[in-house]
């Protein structure tokens, strides 16, 4: 009996999305752990959308820095370096014409399956990540799977139990962890699931205090221009948090389960996913909100005007990709690409820094 053909991956863009993205002088990296894909989205010289994909198992958190891209995967953290960075006019290898950044894998930390979520970089260049399985923030370790850095006050000990579903990380301007999100303040194995509807919280890392509560499966806290933004995924709302009052202030409703947030100027780019048909995603306020608006959930990216809440630019994914995890802006790169792990490419792409003289 022949296997059913795999669904095609298709992208639909709003009419002016590519022109808008080109005008921002940037491109996007998107992860979909459900399909195991890193998507690099930019603009081609002819003005059309540039789409480049690579397979990475359960890829989730992203961290972009000048000339580098870090990605959290099923059991590893990867550092990719742009082979063209710092070498203006460098010849573009055959097969990569039209790309102005080519990311090649250059370092790997083997962590084991920690269900790593959000990822960022510390001032010394070390990755810091949300270790969801052990309910803590962690960094890499040369001898062990991870080195714990911080955990919420209500987590009594490190255990591989995903007690609170710690997931999101916002970094401060000083390069230190500032805020995290969790689905529920639980200290028992898998206890967060009882708090999905309204037990979500945002925690100040330095003080350990809860700065906002009553959220529904919050994700992707981010600081932008001094304002704390968060995705209230279970209600489909993108908004800001008034840290002084603890109030969540919705800015826009997005038709999907929200994960992944980045900024380009006056716009926020929000990742949307199709809710899975299981206990984790059912029974949330998002269901009623979609029905009230006569809408269906979608998978894609929405560019939301921070001043008005309007979303004039968007991407919509269909076919093989149904869920996203992270979205990251890549400044000053128009059309990125990446070297794959399978085939001869990774054997042929050899680089070195010539010695002086």
Upper half-sphere CA count for residue 315 (Cβ side, 13 Å): 31
**What integer pLDDT is reported at residue 344 of this predicted model?**
77
Euclidean distance between CA atoms 291 and 277, whole angstroms: 16
CA 116 to chain centre: 11
Tens digit of pLDDT for each residue in 322-346?
Answer: 999 999 999 999 999 999 887 777 8
Q: Is the Cβ–Cβ distance between 126 and 142 less than 8 Å? A: no
Strands (E), 205-266: 210-215, 218-224, 227-232, 237-242, 247-253, 257-264
Find the helix or strand (DSSP H, E) in which 290 lies.
helix 285-292
Give the number of other Cβ atoms within 10 Å of residue 12's Cβ.
Answer: 13
Q: What is the pLDDT along the chain (357 residues), one digit of tens a residue?
A: 556 566 788 999 999 999 999 999 999 999 999 999 999 999 999 999 999 999 999 999 999 999 999 999 999 999 999 999 877 667 777 788 899 999 999 999 999 999 999 999 999 999 999 999 999 999 999 999 999 999 999 999 999 999 999 999 999 999 999 999 999 999 999 999 999 999 999 999 999 999 999 999 999 999 999 999 999 999 999 999 999 999 999 999 999 999 999 999 999 999 999 987 656 777 899 999 999 999 999 999 999 999 999 999 999 999 999 999 999 999 999 999 999 887 777 877 777 777 776
Q: Is the Cβ–Cβ distance between 156 and 194 less than 8 Å? A: no
**What integer pLDDT is reported at residue 70 of this predicted model?**
98
| Backbone torsions φ then ψ of 241, nearest 5 degrees | -110, 125
Token pair in block for residue 42:
């930019």
Q: Are strands 101-110 and 336-338 parallel, antiparallel or unpaired?
A: parallel
- Fold annotation for 10-341: Neuraminidase (2.120.10)
Q: How far is CA 295 from CA 176, 239, 281, in A?
A: 39, 20, 17
Strand ranges across the sheet with 76-82: 62-65, 68-72, 76-82, 101-110, 336-338
Domain ranges in the chain?
10-341
Q: Is the Cβ–Cβ distance between 329 and 62 less than 8 Å? A: no
Residue position matching structure tokens 């979609």: 290
pTM of the model: 0.95
Euclidean distance between CA atoms 168 and 205, whole angstroms: 12
């Amino acid at each position: 009996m022949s296997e059913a053909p795999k669904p095609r991956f298709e992208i639909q863009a709003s009419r002016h999305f590519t022109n808008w993205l080109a005008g921002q002088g940037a491109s996007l990296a998107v992860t979909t752990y459900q399909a195991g894909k890193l998507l690099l989205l930019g603009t081609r010289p002819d003005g059309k959308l540039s789409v480049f994909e690579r397979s990475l198992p359960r890829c989730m958190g992203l961290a972009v820095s000048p000339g580098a891209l870090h990605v959290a995967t099923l059991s590893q953290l990867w550092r990719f370096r742009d082979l063209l960075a710092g070498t203006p006019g460098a010849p573009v290898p055959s097969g990569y014409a039209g790309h102005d950044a080519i990311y090649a894998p250059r370092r790997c930390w083997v962590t084991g399956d920690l269900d790593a979520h959000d990822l960022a970089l510390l001032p010394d260049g070390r990755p810091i990540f949300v270790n969801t399985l052990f309910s803590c923030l962690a960094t890499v370790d040369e001898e062990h799977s991870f080195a714990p850095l911080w955990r919420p006050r209500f987590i009594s000990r490190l255990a591989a139990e995903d007690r609170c579903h710690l997931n999101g990380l916002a970094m401060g301007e000083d390069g230190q962890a500032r805020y995290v999100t969790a689905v529920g303040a639980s200290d028992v194995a898998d206890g967060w699931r009882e708090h999905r509807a309204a037990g979500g919280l945002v925690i100040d890392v330095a003080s350990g205090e809860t700065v906002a509560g009553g959220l529904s499966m919050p994700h992707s806290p981010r600081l932008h221009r001094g304002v704390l933004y968060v995705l209230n995924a279970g209600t489909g709302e993108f908004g800001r948090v008034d840290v002084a009052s603890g109030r969540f202030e919705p800015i826009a409703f997005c038709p999907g389960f929200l994960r992944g947030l980045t900024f380009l100027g006056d716009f926020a780019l929000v990742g949307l996913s199709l809710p899975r048909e299981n206990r984790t995603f059912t029974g949330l306020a998002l269901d009623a909100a979609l029905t009230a608006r006569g809408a269906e959930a979608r998978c894609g990216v929405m560019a939301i005007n921070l001043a008005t809440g309007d979303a004039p630019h968007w991407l919509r994914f269909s076919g093989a990709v149904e869920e996203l995890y992270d979205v990251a802006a890549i400044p000053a790169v128009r059309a990125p690409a990446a070297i794959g792990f399978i085939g001869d490419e990774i054997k042929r792409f050899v680089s070195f820094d010539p010695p002086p003289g």
